[in-house]
Structures are given as structure tokens and as C-alpha cells.
Amino acid sequence: MITDECINCDVCEPICPNKAIFQGPEIYEIDSGLCTECVGHFDVPQCQSICPVSCIPLDPRHIESQEELWLKVAKLKTQA
């Protein structure tokens, strides 16, 4: 998730390998159905590592295990 501390700096959207980040009405938002926390692409979530104001914590409403994230990666690859 992206908190309201977001400054709309535009650095997170282009680095998301799943295109899960998009510009919302006020700030950037993350589509939890597309977010894999960069599993299958990088060792750490790229949006979190690049955010200059640290406004992208893990969403407590969408806690997923590594196994669940890998299953989502596989599903997204078949939809591509």
C-alpha cells in the first residue's frame, strides 16, 4: 500500500515489474491483485527500496506468504 505521505514523485510506478502501481485520484496506489512484492523479479520490493519518503509499507490487509506470492507470479505469467 502507499500511504498519504506519498509526494507523487513518480519513481515507483515505472520500476514495478507487474505494473501494479498507478496514479490514483490523490496519490499513487497499488493494485494488490498485481503486486507480488517483486517475488520472481527482485530480492526486495523495488518500490519500497526506491521511495524517497518511505511511504510504501506492507499492507496489513493483504499479507501473503512467499508461496502465495509465487502462485500469483505464475498466474500473472499465464495471463500475460
What does 8-41 look like in DSSP terms, one character per residue?
--SSSGGG-TT--EEE-SSSEEE-TTT--TTTTT
Grid cell 527482485 — which residue? 42
CATH code, residues 13-79:
3.30.70.20
Q: How large is the average pLDDT for residues 9-36? A: 97
Residues 57-76: pLDDT tens digits?
A: 999 999 999 999 999 999 99
79 pLDDT above the threshold of 90 = no
80 pLDDT above the threshold of 80 = no
36 pLDDT above the threshold of 80 = yes
pLDDT at 4 (0 to 100):
96
Q: State how far the Cα of 79 lies from the Cα of 67, in Å rounded to an integer.
A: 19
pLDDT at 41 (0 to 100):
95
pLDDT at 64 (0 to 100):
96
